[in-house]
Amino acid sequence: MSTSISLETAIAALKSHSVEGKATQMAAYHKADRTYLGVANPMIDIETRKWRADLDVAGRIDLAKSLWDSDVHEARIAAAKLLTQARLRPDDAAWALIKSWVPDFNAWAIADHACTAGSKRLVADPSRIDEVEEWTKSKNIWTRRAAMVITLPWTKQNNPKPADLEIRERVLGWAALYVQHSDWFIQKSVSWWLRDLSKHDPDRTRQFIAEHGKNMKKFAKKDATRRLPPL
């Protein structure tokens, strides 16, 4: 197993999948000021799977840090994918790296991939929820949004344990505060959380809507309830 892959080698591998004209389209779509290579996500998956197979945990973390620091769109996606793994031991360094990315979020696609990686580390050690709660107090909407996205696994449990229900209620408490703010991305993060929860705990979703729906934007309320089963 290799111990390192250089940033230059990794970027070159990603660039080999570039599609002519796609970088310009991506820049217009994502609306974040950074470099785009014009590489589709399935191609990023191909490369990150190779890197995960070749690198130990420390090597993955080193490469992920370099990819993220490059501020290339596809490289940041790849950095998150490198660390998206349920079993990653030891994982303290991976969690610390993912947390360090949160203040950099300024577009949904990169943020969502990073939060997917982070959610694996949060599920592995739910006590980290205390650190995530600090994000809800940030002035940065992307940091606040990340608190909802990274906790999505707690919407998906059909038979949650008492500790899981405690976390679920904790996040719903954040959501109740979030819907008092009109920002589209914040409202959308709440509706996403509730929409996923509605498939597994429709009664709790209805209760939240009954108590806090008056503060939700029309689009958010519609999105939150569109998968609720009929009574």
3 state DSSP class of 147: helix
Residue 55 β-bridge partners? 2
3 state DSSP class of 130: helix
Same domain, residue pair 34 and 102: yes
Taking residues 119-135, report their average pLDDT.
98
Select from 124, 151, 170 the last residue of a domain: 124
pLDDT digits (tens, 9 = 90+) for 1-40: 667 999 999 999 999 999 999 999 999 999 999 999 999 9
CA–CA separation, 207 and 212 (whole Å): 9
Q: What are phi and psi of 137, to 5 degrees?
A: -100, 0
Same domain, residue pair 7 and 37: yes
Which has the higher per-residue pLDDT, 114 or 4? 114
Same domain, residue pair 95 and 150: no
Given this model, what pLDDT does residue 1 score?
Answer: 63
Residue 72 β-bridge partners? 35
> Is 131 inside any structural domain?
no
Contacting residues for 49 by C-beta, under 8 A, at least 6 apart = none
What CATH number should be reported for the domain holding residue 171? 1.25.40.290
pLDDT digits (tens, 9 = 90+) for 156-186: 999 999 999 999 999 999 999 999 999 999 9
Same domain, residue pair 102 and 9: yes
3-state helix, strand, coil in the chain (%, to 5): 70, 0, 30
Report whether 102 contacts 147 (CB < 8 A). Answer: no
Same domain, residue pair 224 and 120: no
Select from 124, 155, 175 the last residue of a domain: 124
Same domain, residue pair 118 and 67: yes
Report the predicted TM-score, pTM, of the whole model to 2 decimal places: 0.95
> Is 221 inside any structural domain?
yes
> Is 140 inside any structural domain?
yes
Same domain, residue pair 40 and 98: yes
Domain that holds residue 226: 136-231
Same domain, residue pair 7 and 120: yes
Domain count, the chain: 2
> Is 109 inside any structural domain?
yes
Same domain, residue pair 206 and 228: yes
> Is 154 inside any structural domain?
yes
pLDDT digits (tens, 9 = 90+) for 59-95: 999 999 999 999 999 999 999 999 999 889 899 999 9
pLDDT at 230 over 90: no
pLDDT digits (tens, 9 = 90+) for 178-222: 999 999 999 999 999 999 999 999 999 999 999 999 999 999 999
Same domain, residue pair 211 and 103: no
CA–CA separation, 181 and 199 (whole Å): 25
Length of the chain: 231
Report whether 169 contacts 157 (CB < 8 A). Answer: no
